Amino acid sequence: MAFFQIPFVPLNRLWVFPALAGTAWFITLAGLLLTWIARGTPRYPGQQNPYVAFISDIAAFQLKPFFLTGSVITAFAFIGTLISVHFARYDHRMYGIDDVKWKKTLSAVAMIAGVIAGLGLLLLAIMDTYRFHEEHAVLLLVCFVGLASSMVLTSVVYFDQVWRASPFRRLRLYCTVSLVTVALDVCLGATFYGVMQTEYWRVSGILEWIMAFTGSVYLWAFIGFVSVPEEGVDEAERRALLRQ
C-alpha cells in the first residue's frame, strides 16, 4: 500500500501549484524592487541597511496591498506545492516509490515545515517590520526555519533520484536543479548572515535580494517533480530501480 495517495486530484494539473508559487513570488519581488529603484532608492523610517533596503522595509511603506496579495498567493501555492511533491513520490499513479520508513517520516516532517513556512510568510506580510517590529522578527525566524527545513528534508528524500539510475529521467533533471538551488541558497544564506553581522550592509542587501529571487527558481523546479512521468517502465524494472 502506498504511503500517500492523491484521490480525486487531476494529476496533470499539479504543476499549477509550483508554477503559481514561483511566478507570484517573482512578480512580487520585482514589483517591490523596481518601485524602490524608480522612486530614487529612498531610505525608510527604521531601515537598518543604509544602502540597500531589505524586502520587508519596502513592503512596509510602499505597495503593501501588492505585497500582501503576492505573499498570500505564494504562501498557499507553496503549501500546495510541498504537499503535491511528497504525495507524488508515493502515489502509484505518479512515481510509486516504495521508500523505507525514515524517508516517509522525513516527507511528513517536510510537509509540516512547508505549512509552517507558508503561514509564516502570510503573517509576515500582515505584520510588517515597522508597525510590528518584534513580532515581525519572530515570524521571520519561524518562516526561515520552516522554509530551510522543508528545503533540506525534501532534498534528502529525493536525493536518490540524483545520485543513482532512475527510470524517471525528467524527474532526475529537476531534482538536480532543485538540489543545486538549495546548495546555492545555503551558501548565500551563510554569507548573508556573516556580512550582516559584520555590517557590510551593501553586500548583505544585495545578497538578500539574490536569495529571494533564487527562491522563484527553486519553486519553478518543482514543476518537473509533479509532472506526470512519460517513461514507460514496467513494474519489475520500477521495483529494481527504486527499491530502498
Q: How confident is the model at residue 241 (pLDDT cuts 50, 70, 90)?
A: very low
Report whether pLDDT(143) > 60.
yes
pTM (two decimals): 0.89
Averaged pLDDT, 142-164: 94
Region class of 243: left (phi > 0), else alpha (psi between -120 and 50), else beta: beta
Res 115: pLDDT: 97
The mean pLDDT of 2-17, rounded to a whole number, is 70
Mean of all residue pLDDT scores within the chain: 88
Looking at residues 17-34, what average pLDDT do you find?
A: 97
What is the predicted pLDDT for the residue at 242? 47
Mean pLDDT score, 149-153: 96
Taking residues 178-193, what's their average pLDDT?
Answer: 94
pLDDT at 9: 57
